[in-house]
Amino acid sequence: MLENGDVQFQSNIKFEGGETVFKVDNPTFMGGGGKLPGPMHYCFYGLASCYTGTFATMAAMLGVQLKKLTTKVEADVNFSRVFGVSDVPTIEEVRVTLRVDSDAPEDIIKEAEKLALERCPVVFTLRNPVKLVPKLEIS
- Strand pairing partners for 95? 74
Same domain, 33 and 48: no
Average model confidence (pLDDT) across the chain: 94
Tell me which of 4-8, 51-55, 116-120 is least confident.
Answer: 4-8
Longest dimension (CA), the chain: 60
Full residue range of the structural domain in which residue 104 is found: 39-123
The reported pLDDT for the residue numbered 92 is 94
Same domain, 46 and 89: yes
Average pLDDT over residues 9-38: 94
Please name the helix (run of DSSP H) or strand (run of DSSP E) that holds residue 73, with its range, or none. strand 66-77
| Residue burial 14-35, b: 16+ Cβ < 10 Å; e: rest | eeeeeeeeeebbbeeeeebeee
Same domain, 26 and 57: no
Task: Give yes or no for a contact between 113 and 98, defined as CB atoms under 8 angstroms apart.
Answer: yes
Same domain, 43 and 33: no
**pLDDT band at residue 5 under the 50/70/90 scheme:** low
Same domain, 44 and 28: no
**pLDDT band at residue 1 under the 50/70/90 scheme:** very low
Same domain, 28 and 62: no
pLDDT digit string, tens, across residues 65-82: 999 999 999 999 999 999
Residue 19 falls within a domain, yes or no?
yes
Distance CA 47, CA 38 (A): 15
Same domain, 71 and 119: yes
Same domain, 47 and 68: yes
Q: Taking the CA atoms of 95, 8, 132 and 87 in sequence, report the sign of the dihedral they define.
A: negative
Same domain, 9 and 44: no
Residue 135 falls within a domain, yes or no?
no
Same domain, 9 and 53: no
* The one-letter amino acid at 30: M
Residue 134 falls within a domain, yes or no?
no
Same domain, 109 and 89: yes
Check which CATH number belongs to the domain holding 105 and give it: 3.30.300.20
The reported pLDDT for the residue numbered 3 is 54
- pLDDT greater than 90 at residue 86: yes
pLDDT digit string, tens, across residues 108-133: 999 999 999 999 999 999 999 899 99
The reported pLDDT for the residue numbered 123 is 97
Q: How many CA atoms lie within 13 A of 101 on its CB side?
A: 5
